[in-house]
Chain A
Amino acid sequence: MQLTVWTYEGPPHVGAMRIATGMEGLHYVLHAPQGDTYADLLFTMIERRNKRPPVTYTTFAARDLGRDTAELFMTAARDAYARFQPQAMIVGASCTGSLIQDDPGGLAKSLGFPIPVIAIDLPAYQRKENWGAAETFYQLVRALAGPNAPAPGTKRPERAAGVRPSCNLLGPTALGFRHRDDITEITGLLGKLGIDVNVVAPMGSTPADIARLGDADFNVVMYPEIAGQAASWLHRIFHQPFTKTVPIGVSATRDFIQEVTALAGIDPAPMLQASSSRLPWYSHSVDSTYLTNKRVFIFGDATHAIAAARIASEELGFKVVGLGSYSREFGRELREAAKRYDVEPLITDDYLEVEAKVAELHPELVLGTQMERHIAKRLGVPCAVISAPVHVQDFPARYAPQMGFEGANVIFDTWVHPLMMGLEEHLLTMFKDDFEFKDGAMPSHLGTGHAAPVAEAVAAPAAAVATESVATGVAAPDIASATAVAAAAAVWAPEAEKELQKIPFFVRGKARRNTERFANENGVATITVETLYDAKAHFAR
């Protein structure tokens, strides 16, 4: 057993649902108890889809267990076939369904539907969501494209002269982090290079489309966690090479252009010269000096985390102080990446471990998932989201890809936004003795008076928390207990406390924490003005 409070990934059948929901003309019959239907809301609420996922749950109850749950499954499958008339069907069981051992695959086959019925066997007590998505996609590709495979030993015919090269885009799913926009971005990029997209799968494809994956010259693996296995199989059986670079960030996008043009037999030079992103210029601008060596902690799925580390380090000039992922399947890739930044890789799906690491490293920016957003909020560190699992707000209405040159622009904006305070911090340190910047000072746009509501600054976040609770129906968490943990053993001398008050309020918390940490580590019992500046010197970077 594993004790968990929050999890990064759902069960494997949710991965299968992400494949089915991304596609058209496919239906999933899932042997599951009624409560498992909650999974629909991931798609209809978090991703705001306007259709129910194409999933029929058998929703068996305790009273059914004594009777014939197999019959229940067959009825559900029959009804689903009659109602939805899918081109193909996948069948399987959720964790509970698998325990009652009804063999959905065999049962569905016995119904003799005139469409392909693919049994997806997902070991629910060993595996998780992304694995489930990858396995489902792989099984679908095998079952639907397999019959069109060239005879073993035959070579791929050469592409006829004058025919544009083509590829498939593999890996985007429902509920994926910006998958929808990445497809648009990469299709556009390939189009400009003169490469056609044969099929995008699973997102947007039908079973018939999957059957013609073999028509393309090569495959673009957009999300290795999901498409890696299917792409290797297509390589083996259809001799289709596939891309290894994930085009997230400017350098990676350029590498990707080199890679696809090599596969397509095209000259990349014109494109590489013409193409551009604003990211490089923005990060070279004087205004971005404050970004230099900002200490960043990165955690997410392996693909996004590794890409983020490269962008952070090479394209924004941050210092990567931590890199981790919950994608255990990609441990090797992650460890290699961690070596490049000389950090200890953190491969775990225990969010408490991640939290402890963030607390220990006290980074200045966290790039992570929804969980890290919560961790960062608790620890008072700025944060931007780079990977699933995410919140409804990470499915924005505007076009916001992560991949390609436009993706790089989006990334620059999203990461730098929470750090804007950093720039102000820089200016405020320069002007810190100016009366305008005393705690009490009211913002100039609010007019006269420096009689400043100190309490307001404190009250504001509390109010924000309260509003959030009302909005969500969940009461405000116990913040006091969280802060209590940080309480230090060292005591502040009055004049040191006074000096601390001179520091602008929004960096004061950090100064306080650093000083206390320094005092505790050095056995200082009373924090004096000297200790404050010793600590400042110690942590200065």
Chain B
Amino acid sequence: MTVHVQPCAAPAEDPVSRAVRTESGQREVFCGLTGIVWLHRKIQDAFFLVVGSRTCAHLIQSAAGVMIFAEPRFGTAIMEEKDLAGLTDANDELDRIVTQLLTRRPDIKLLFLVGSCPSEVIKLDLSRAALRLSQRFSPGVRILNYSGSGIETTFTQGEDSCLASLVPALPAAQDETSSLLVIGSLADVVEDQFMRMFDALGIGPVQFFPPRKSTALPSVGPNTKILMAQPFLPDTVRALQERGAKRLAAPFPLGVEGTTGWLRAAADAFGIDAATFDRVTEPNRVRAERALGAYKAELGGRRIFFFPDSQLEIPLARFLARELSMQLVEVGTPYLHREHLAEELKLLPAGVALTEGQDVDLQLDRCRLARPDIAVCGLGLANPLEAEGITTKWSIELVFTPIQGYEQAADLAELFARPLVRRAKLVA
């Protein structure tokens, strides 16, 4: 393959200037520990040990819905009174727990010590602990640490902290060839679809991060091009850039347009000509558009309101507005990274009310006043809003369900159509 190196798309100099309301007040979001629920499914030989309180243990249990009946690959080292008093004891205790855990679970190859609010507030140094324990358990087990605490992270940011902590462990790329690194957890089925697409386009080698096995970490170097599959990974991108990798400016692969733009960014970076690109993507595009057609009548003209939750809100809003003609009443996001979202912001219809951060009571007031046809929100708000006659979609489902790529575009639309269909069907 002839490698045609293009200058990496620079960060958009002029991201469309948009008015953004910044709100701070009471939030209604999960903390970053929640990421464990999908990360432990993705990295199949990793274990996540939260060093925290009973609240942290209760949170992951509730977020995971107490649904797993095999022993899951996560747990909590619950701190007790005595651990708070003397920090040296807490370190001894942690060593004891890790030893106990690794003896019980010899299948673990990668152990994350996950920091929480209490462990951060008392300044328990988990990076030192990870180093100390690594020395004891290497080479069999790699031990890393990151913070998923609610004072540092919301919801999907936990994945960012986790992946960023893995970056130093990535091997250096050995040769001069350009390679593509797709970052952000995707369902395996979506990964495989993208892989086939990249192959057909002649883009490669392609690696995914996080990998399914911690023993198969992708390599990184100055010729690595990063394609973000999830919008919530600024720390990971920064860490990868420090290793020389370049980020490709692209929208996110949601909907036909987003997926096309996303693939095109990769194609352009690998010097794939437009004709090839069109030839390869066209059948999928056409099929996806056809599938979306069914939902246009259902969703077109409907008014949607986003509470901030996963940081997927802006790409989702762009998809719903442009491909399904929905009207955006308010788009809330817990955090807005203007550079990484520049391509999305360009596509977002003019005059959209964007909110960064949250004051939940005020936002609920606005939502009630606007009476949208559907509101996207966290689990804590969904039933109360339904009781007020506002149809809802749980944002967490958008994180857990495969929604990226052409083949999932219609599934994504369906996630929004279903609550509306239900509302229309139920007479009692």
In this complex, how many residues of chain B approach chain A with their Cβ under 8 Å: the count is 73
Query: Which residues from A are CB-within-8-Å of B27?
Result: 34, 37, 57, 59
Q: Are B37 and A479 in contact (CB under 8 A)?
A: no
Q: Contact mask A31-44 → B, CB, 8 Å, 1/0?
A: 00111111111101
B81 / chain A contacts, CB cutoff of 8 Å:
123, 125-126
Q: Give the CA-CA distance A247 to B157 in the complex, in Å.
A: 49
Residues A1-52 near B (CB distance < 8 A): 1-7, 9-11, 13-14, 33-42, 44-46, 48-52
Q: Is B78 an interface residue (CB 8 A)?
A: yes
Interface core residue of A11, A14, A38, A42 (most chain B CB under 10 Å): A38
Q: Which residues 466-487 in A have Cβ within 8 Å of B in the complex?
A: 468, 472-475, 477-479, 481-482
Within A395-427, the residues touching B (CB, 8 Å) are none
Q: Kindly state whether residue A61 has any CB partner on chain B within 8 Å.
A: yes
Cα–Cα, bound, A7→B34 (Å): 16
User: Does B206 interact with chain A (Cβ within 8 Å)?
Assistant: no
Comparing B64-72, B175-183, B274-282, the segment that makes contact with chain A is B64-72
A62 is an interface residue with CB less than 8 A from chain B: yes
- Contact in complex: B380, A478 (CB < 8 Å): no
A52 to B384, Cβ gap below 8 A? yes
Chain B residues in 8 Å Cβ range of A375: 69
Given A128-B54, A391-B66, verify A34-B154 contact (CB < 8 Å): yes
Q: Are A45 and B379 in contact (CB under 8 A)?
A: yes
A403 to chain B, nearest CB (A): 25
Provided the pairs A124-B54, A478-B70 are in contact, do residues A33 and B101 lie with their beta carbons within 8 angstroms? no
State the main secondary structure of chain B at its contact with A.
Answer: helix
A99 to B: closest C-beta gap in Å: 5
User: Cβ of B125: which chain A residues have Cβ within 8 Å of it?
Assistant: none
User: How far is it, in angstroms, between the C-alpha of A466 and the C-alpha of B386 when the chains are bound?
Assistant: 29
Q: Does B348 contact A (CB under 8 A)?
A: no
CB distance from A55 to the nearest CB of B (A): 10
Query: Which of B41, B54, B361 makes the CB contact (< 8 A) with A95?
Result: B54
Verify if B381 is at the interface (C-beta below 8 Å from A). yes
Min CB distance, A36 to chain B, in Å? 6
Chain A residues contacting B28 (CB-CB under 8 Å) are 37, 40
Q: Is the pair A44, B384 in contact by a Cβ cutoff of 8 Å? A: yes
Contact between A38 and B383, CB atoms less than 8 A apart: no
B79 at the interface (CB under 8 A from A): yes
On chain B, the residues within 8 Å of A50 by CB distance are: 383-384, 386-387
Q: Does B31 contact A (CB under 8 A)?
A: yes
Distance of B9 from chain A, by nearest CB (Å): 32
Instruction: Please state if A474 and B53 are interface contacts (CB–CB under 8 Å).
Output: no
Asked if residues A35 and B32 are in contact (CB atoms below 8 Å), the reply is: yes
Taking the closest CB of chain A, its distance from the CB of B400, in whole angstroms, is 3
CA distance A391 to B64 in the complex (A): 12
* A 122-169 contacts with B by CB, 8 A: 123-126, 128
> Quick one: CB contact mask for A477-502 with B, threshold 8 Å, 1 for yes?
11101100000000000000000000
For residue B33, CB closer than 8 A to chain A, the reply is yes
A332: Cβ under 8 A from any B Cβ:
no
Report the Cα distance A132→B414, complex, angstroms: 43
Cα separation A64 to B396 with both chains bound (whole Å): 27
Interface members, chain A 48-103 (any B CB < 8 Å): 48-52, 56-62, 64-65, 76, 79, 83, 94-96, 99-100
Please indicate the chain A residues that have their CB under 8 angstroms from the CB of B122 in the complex: 99
Q: How far is the CA of A60 from the CA of B154 in the complex (A)?
A: 12
Query: In the complex, which residues 30-62 of chain B have their Cβ closer than 8 Å to any Cβ of chain A?
Result: 30-34, 37-38, 41, 51, 53-55, 57-59, 61-62
Of A50, A62, A64, A375, most buried by chain B (CB within 10 Å of CB) is A62
Given A36-B150, A44-B382, A96-B151; A1-B69 close (CB under 8 Å): no
Binds A, one of B113-121, B251-259, B294-302: B113-121
Q: Is B354 an interface residue, CB under 8 A from the partner?
A: no
Is B154 a contact of A35 with CB atoms below 8 Å? yes
CA distance A40 to B65 in the complex (A): 14
In angstroms, how far is the closest chain A Cβ from the Cβ of B226?
27
- A109 at interface by CB-CB < 8 Å: no
When each residue 71-92 of chain B gets 1 if its CB lies under 8 Å from chain A and 0 otherwise, what string results?
1101111111101100000100
Interchain CB contact under 8 A, A35 and B59: yes
Whether A65 contacts B121 in the complex (CB less than 8 A), given A7-B54, A50-B387, A59-B27, comes out as yes
Q: Which of chain A's residues have a CB closer than 8 A to the CB of B101?
A: 3
The distance from the CB of A334 to the nearest CB of chain B, in whole angstroms, is 22
A357 within 8 A of B: no
Q: Is A44 a contact partner of B380 (Cβ separation < 8 A)? A: yes
Is A4 within 8 A of B78, CB to CB? yes
Q: Which of B86-123 contact A (CB under 8 A)?
A: 90, 93-94, 96-97, 100-101, 117-118, 120-122
* Interchain CB contact under 8 A, A1 and B93: yes
Give every chain A residue within 8 A of B96 (Cβ-Cβ): 1
Contact A51 to B97, CB < 8 A, known contacts A35-B150, A474-B37, A477-B72: no
User: With a CB–CB cut-off of 8 A, which chain B residues contact A61?
Assistant: 150-152
Q: Determine whether A389 belongs to the interface, using a CB cutoff of 8 Å to chain B.
A: yes
Taking Cβ atoms with an 8 Å cutoff, the residues of A that contact B are 1-7, 9-11, 13-14, 33-42, 44-46, 48-52, 56-62, 64-65, 76, 79, 83, 94-96, 99-100, 123-126, 128, 370-371, 374-375, 377-378, 389, 391, 468, 472-475, 477-479, 481-482
Given A3-B75, A11-B55, A96-B118, 17 new contacts (CB under 8 A): A3-B77, A5-B75, A6-B61, A11-B58, A35-B150, A38-B30, A39-B58, A41-B62, A62-B151, A76-B26, A96-B150, A99-B118, A378-B70, A473-B38, A473-B400, A478-B70, A481-B70
23 pairs, A vs B, C-beta closer than 8 Å: A1-B79, A1-B83, A3-B100, A35-B33, A37-B380, A38-B62, A39-B62, A40-B381, A44-B382, A57-B26, A59-B25, A59-B26, A60-B151, A65-B121, A95-B54, A96-B53, A96-B121, A125-B84, A126-B80, A370-B66, A391-B66, A473-B396, A474-B65
Name the 10 nearest CB pairs between A and B, nearest first: A35-B31, A35-B150, A477-B70, A40-B380, A473-B400, A50-B387, A33-B150, A95-B53, A374-B69, A96-B117
